[in-house]
Amino acid sequence: MNKEILILLFSWIISILLLFKYIPVNRKRTAHLTFVFVQAIAWIFQYFQLLFGLVEFPYREFDYATRMSFSLHYLTYPTFGVLFIMLYPLNKGRIRIILHFLIFALAISTYTFLIEKYSSLFEFRKWNIYIGILSNMIILYIVKKFVFWYQKGLV
């Protein structure tokens, strides 16, 4: 097995275990909504990254079907989004909320950076970690706004 397959396998296993561990039974509906919404946002974001030549995915699961990475944007990044919402500090101070955004944006960017550095799953073209942190913070903000807006209708 090459290292790309091992990285993807571990990413799938860790993502699934984290989802089972950190999603309480009474919040599964919110987790499902968040997961699907983050998948949609991640696929759109990835499409524009590829369209403008910002990133490239040399190793892909479905080489002939798409130039996009399936596992990273189908399971791994949505898992980050679900954990972001599940662990969101409700009714906490502004500094705590900003730190929450920053920690998750840094975690996603660090994961992407490590994958780019040590495998051929991801390759930066006209992209760097600072743009990644900023874009991840924007995406997390959009996810938070959507999920909290949608939850108002469920009450």
> Residue 154: what pLDDT?
59
Distance CA 4, CA 110 (A): 17
In the numeric block, the tokens 């743009």 are attached to 131
Out of 63-72, 76-85, 87-96, 140-149, pick the least confident. 63-72
Q: Are 105 and 137 in contact (CB under 8 A)?
A: yes
User: Is the confidence at residue 125, as pLDDT, over 80?
Assistant: yes
Whole-Å CA distances, 134 to 20, 99, 105: 29, 14, 8
Q: What average pLDDT does this structure show over 34-41?
A: 94
Q: Are 31 and 23 in contact (CB under 8 A)?
A: yes
Q: If residue 55 lies in a helix (H) or strand (E), which one and from where to where?
A: strand 55-56
Q: Which pTM was predicted?
A: 0.89
User: Is the confidence at residue 141, as pLDDT, over 80?
Assistant: yes
User: Is the confidence at residue 1, as pLDDT, over 70?
Assistant: no
